[in-house]
Amino acid sequence: MFIVFITCFVIFISFMFCIRLISSELTFVLFAMLFICCLVFTTNNIFMFYLFYEASLIPILYIIMKWGSYPERSVRSVILLLYTSIFTFPFVYILFRFYNVNNSLVFSLFYGVNGLRSTLLFSILIFFTFAVKLPIYGLHFWLPMAHVEAPTFGSIILAGVLLKLGGVGLIRFSSLLNLAELKSTILAYFFVFLVYVTLVCCFQSDFKRLVAYSSVSHMITIPIILLSSTYVGLKGVISVMFLHGISSPLIFILVGVIYLFISTRQHLLIRGVLCFRPILSFLIVLAFFFTLSAPPFPSFVAEVLFSFSRISLWYPRLVFLLLFLFLSIVYNLLWLTSSVFLNQDSSVNYSFLFRYSYFIPIFLSVFIIPVLFVVFFFNVL
């Protein structure tokens, strides 16, 4: 229910952002994306889940090839298609194996299946099928390319909807995973690259690539929380996905608006935003503190649940959490202070200042609605 809500909300935000470019073709693509993703999140049949899980690539590929702004977009789209298809195709073996044991492909039979959880290979095939769309570090190479080539409303859909497909798949198939063997096999990999990918964010100069890699650093927390095998961990997975679906599209909206003002995504060239747009600067501050999971933003709750799940795995691994938090502060606040507050104004196209003022209600709705919704979310759970 929560992921369907965030899907509808993100598609609406994407629709509002591209309202000046809207056409019947673009409207059809956005509604097709909404329809396919809602079917992935709600179907009770494994085959239909896999079918629509793969079909969700079609609208985003069309958006990149049709409305992308760089000549390499066709090649990058093919790379995206091949990269995700190669890692998800072994899931067909899971379908045959499950049907051979149960003579059915209904999700509700998962809780009665014990024979399928015996092998580590079976768990790894399921895990990598969905990890490629989270994505975890090592399977993430398609994500920065897709974000750079996609238009801003395409990046909003990529970050807010498409990355949630992998997390929902891991949750729905978690009863088939041998979490104990997965924990002993690949948990150390996640802890190391949780810190490494956050360090990579500190060296990014392109604003879109920075946000893309920050999505990787946030999404790699989902398998770590899931491997904790706790009820608090399940709450943490849902809250991380839900709140990342709010914060990441918000940052991409800011990237798109700033690009319209200054015609660059190199954050070393972005100067003096506070001088010509104080309200936009204030929204940037709110957005980055939302991304930092600082109180009183609801993302702080997800960070606390993540911390509890990490401690339950092994207490000395808390040092990785501290490094992750410190480096997150570095790449957020260094960009914020250097590009917004501490530098003088650069050459700005001031004709855009009033033409795009209708984005302000979108920003405010992005902040207000999650705060109200997260209260209901934790009361239900």
Which of the pair, 44 or 233, is modelled with greater confidence?
Answer: 44
DSSP 8-state class, residue 70: S
Model pLDDT for residues 154-173, shown as the tens digit of each residue: 889 988 888 889 888 888 88
Closest CA to 148 of 199, 205, 196, 195: 205
Tokens linked to 286 = 């709110």
User: Structure pTM?
Assistant: 0.82
Give mean pLDDT, residues 360-372.
50
Closest CA to 149 of 52, 248, 79: 79
pLDDT of residue 317: 67
Which of the pair, 197 or 371, is modelled with greater confidence?
Answer: 197
pLDDT of residue 352: 41
Which of the pair, 173 or 346, is modelled with greater confidence?
Answer: 173
Q: 169 near 127, Cβ under 8 Å? A: no
Q: 98 near 105, Cβ under 8 Å? A: yes
